Structure 1
Amino acid sequence: QYFLNKNRRFSHIFDPRSGSPVNNGISSVTVIADDCVSADALATSVFIMGDKAGCQLVSNFKGAQAKIIMGNLHIKCGNDAKRKR
Structure 2
Amino acid sequence: MKARVVVTLKSGVLDPQGKAIEGALSALGFSGVEAARQGRVIDLDLAETDPAAARARVAEMCEKLLANTVIESYAIEIAA
Tell me the TM-score normalized by structure 2.
Answer: 0.24
Tell me the TM-score normalized by structure 1.
Answer: 0.23
